Amino acid sequence: MTTAPALLQVRDLQIEFTDRGRVTNRPVRGVQLEIGSREVLGVVGETGCGKSITANAILGTLPEQARATGRIEFAGVEQLSLPERERAVNRGDAISIVFQNPGTAFNPVFRLGNQMRMVLRRHRGLRGRAATAIIAERLSDVGLTDTQRVMNAYPHELSGGMLQRVMIAMALLCEPRLLILDEPTTALDVTVARQILLLILRLQHALGFSVLLITHDLGVVKATCDRVAVLYAGRVVETGPADAVLKTPKHPYTQGLVGALPGQSGGRLRSIEGQVPANFLGIQGCAFADRCYAAIDTCRQVDPDLRPVSTTHEVACIRGGEL
Amino acid sequence: MTKFIAKRVFASAVVMLTITVLTFLMARVVPSNPAVIYAGPKASPETLDRIQSELGLDKPLLVQFFDYLGGLLHGDFGDSLATKQSVLPDLLERLPATLELIATAMTIATVLGVALGVLAARRRSGALDGSIRFLCIGGISMPAFWLGLILQVIFVGKLGVLPATGQFSTEITYSNPLETITHFALLDCVLTGNWVALQDGLEHLVLPAVTLAAYPLGLIARMTRASMLESLDQDYALTARAYGLSPRSIVWRLTLKNALSAPLTIIGLSVAYMLTGTFFVEVVFNWPGLGQYATQAMLAVDYPVIMAITLLGAAGYLLTNFAVDLLQAKLDPRTRS
Ligand SMILES: Nc1ncnc2c1ncn2[C@@H]1O[C@H](COP(=O)(O)OP(=O)(O)OP(=O)(O)O)[C@@H](O)[C@H]1O
Ligand SMILES: [Mg+2]
């Protein structure tokens, strides 16, 4: 679909947690993702599927005990083999992130303006008036008019919605090429969440960065994403254009999720029984087999890779073509 | 902020008054007659009567209290029963040496304690963390007088690099005599440019200050480590990392400010420890501060002196904790409202 080489390409990403040399968990087991420039990719899946940790791997902020293998290519440069110093240079600059909970993501004892200043000083070497000017501009970009007051405020003095706007402004300070949004509206109430999403879309159109949007909400995917990747137990089970995946989901898991989408009662309506396994270490075959309405014996032995069902739509299910 | 300060000043005044009442009552409850102490064991009943009325002991308790309070407001702590001298000048003469010792010890404990705590947190579970923990437990568990003696054995006896006791060497009095301006000996050395005496004074200060600092240093380091680890675990620390800030600035510039609140409280409490701890240390190191004066007063049940020192200690404690609270409010905007 994307003709130009992708901005971000994640190939066979595996993440392991080790404790004194022993592997204790493997939350990501071969994730494939691709984001073209100016593209909005949604990543969906139930809680614990490995969405945030995948984002952390892309950013290079995994916890110490975690080790990532595979390939993460950003702007043509393989990231996992880079030394930490060089990865840190990209963070907050070419790749930025907006977290789920703006109430805790900011440091409570520093003024918001100063927290943004630190980012500008780190990546652009700017301070003083030059920095203030850029910060004020970004703040008004995200719809905050009283920029002086916001800069002088401490996090606890602003509402969640305002804080999330500040977070977005901070993420955009250095004009990133990729913006990761990890459930950016989950902590906000519905109307504010809508406003924030619209804001992100507007900014994406205006500034032309790519977006990796992590969410639980298929309605959000439908409204905002070009493509979507469905994650289950640390693997991408289905990916393709958002319309196609939501309209004609091929993987039983996606079908279950779509069935759970309110207002989308067209045809089958299946709620998914059971839950994501707590630990993915002992998984044999397809991780979803135990919850799947269509599972056959082979499903418990073979863990299928993504296979195309159309030119742009891929699914990791041995019965994917027929369902 | 002004309201916050006003409230704290008022509260401190109430506490101070309460302490005055309590110390006054305690001095009266102690089963020994001040007049006897004043007059000595061989005084005749007539002399005792005369002294009782001289000291105002025959007046009603309430009147005595207000006499005492009135004196206090004029800076009059009464006369020592043992030396028959006014307490205040004696106190003022010895106070600066003690304050210098406590201030130095507090600075060592705070700076080193916070630094070690942060380093231990950064190298969690490493060899450095282990050694710092060992050091802290040593500092916390070793009695000050014992630590003082050990330091004397090592640095004076074995290595011979530091003087054992006193505030200055005797030779200094002849070669580079001290001029008194502020009564704070080291400060006076600086003000008069007496560098020889300053170096000598600092050498004398090291061991007692380290001895006095050991316990709060251990506490502060432990507390800083724990609170740093907690703070590094918070979302905002991840945000800082996700925005490319270096580990060094995340630790020293960002999370330390969040983490300082807990050790700061310890610093306030440590002052209470130091006010009593310094008496032992001063005796061990023959330091010309309040320690020996206070010890003698306690043994002699010289209650005006004891009361004066108690009130002074309480005032010092309240003052430092007031400063700590102000600093807390400065560090964390959420505590200001
Ligand atoms: N520090 C850690 N140590 C061990 N395992 C971890 C750690 N952090 C995450 N995991 C594991 O990684 C898996 C995926 O976690 P992740 O946070 O990526 O889920 P998620 O898809 O973002 O879920 P949510 O929707 O709740 O945010 C979890 O099952 C969890 O057990
Ligand atoms: Mg998550």
The minimum CA-CA distance between B126 and chain A, rounded to whole Å, is 14
* ipTM rounded to 2 decimals: 0.90
Number of structural domains, chain B? 1
Position B277 in a domain: yes
Q: Give the nearest chain A residue to B256 (CA atoms).
A: A109
- Looking at chain A from residue 41 to 70, which residues have their Cβ under 8 Å from any Cβ of chain B? 59, 61
Averaged over B307-329, what is the pLDDT? 89
Alpha-carbon distance of A24 to B173, in angstroms, equals 70
Alpha-carbon distance of B33 to B30, in angstroms, equals 8
Q: Is the CB of A9 under 6 A from ligand 1?
A: no
Question: Which atom of ligand 1 lies closest to the CA of A231?
Answer: 21
Which CATH number does the domain housing residue B144 bear?
1.10.3720.10
Name the residue with tokens 């905050």.
A144
Averaged over B145-156, what is the pLDDT? 88
Which CATH number does the domain housing residue A256 bear?
3.40.50.300
A265-317 pLDDT, tens digit each? 544 444 577 788 888 888 888 999 888 888 888 888 989 999 999 999 999 99
H or E stretch at A33: strand A22-35
Position B330 in a domain: no
Residue A2 has pLDDT above 60, yes or no: no
Position A122 in a domain: no
Rounded percentage of chain A residues whose pLDDT exceeds 90: 72
B80-135 pLDDT, tens digit each? 888 888 888 888 888 999 999 999 999 999 999 999 999 999 888 889 889 999 98
Position B307 in a domain: no
A171-200 pLDDT, tens digit each? 999 999 999 999 999 888 888 999 999 999
Rounded percentage of chain A residues whose pLDDT exceeds 70: 95
- Residue A199: name the closest of A225, A173, A243, A164 by CA: A164
Alpha-carbon distance of A244 to A311, in angstroms, equals 11
Q: Looking at beta carbons, which residues of chain A come within 8 Å of B330?
A: none
Position A307 in a domain: yes
B188-239 pLDDT, tens digit each? 888 888 888 888 888 889 999 999 999 999 999 999 999 999 999 999 999 9
Position A282 in a domain: yes
Instruction: Please give the residue range of the domain that contains residue B155.
Output: 90-301
Stretch among A92-106, A152-166, A229-243, B320-334 having the lowest mean pLDDT = B320-334
Position B49 in a domain: no
Position A249 in a domain: yes
Cα torsion A215, A219, A225, A230 to 10°: value is: 50
Number of structural domains, chain A? 1
- Residue A218: name the closest of A248, A187, A261, A269 by CA: A261
Position A185 in a domain: yes
Position B214 in a domain: yes
Position B42 in a domain: no
Instruction: Please give the residue range of the domain that contains residue A230.
Output: 6-94+174-315
The minimal CB distance from A105 to the residues B235, B253, B333 is found for B235
Name the residue with tokens 């073209």.
A36
Q: Could you tell me if A117 lies within 8 Å of chain B, comparing CB atoms?
A: no
Q: How far is the CA of B237 from the centre of ligand 2 (A)?
A: 17
Q: Give the nearest chain A residue to B242 (CA atoms).
A: A91
pLDDT of residue A269: 42
Rounded percentage of chain B residues whose pLDDT exceeds 90: 25
Q: Looking at beta carbons, which residues of chain B come within 8 Å of A97?
A: 242
Query: What is the best residue among A16, A18, A25 to mutate for testing ligand 1's pocket, by most ligand atoms within 8 Å of CB?
Result: A25
Six-digit token string for B40: 């000595």
Nearest CA residue ID for atom 16, ligand 1: A50
Dihedral sign of CA atoms A220, A223, A224, A229 in order: positive
pLDDT of residue A3: 55
Alpha-carbon distance of B257 to A226, in angstroms, equals 43
Position B44 in a domain: no
CB A167 within 8 A of CB A115: no
Position B182 in a domain: yes
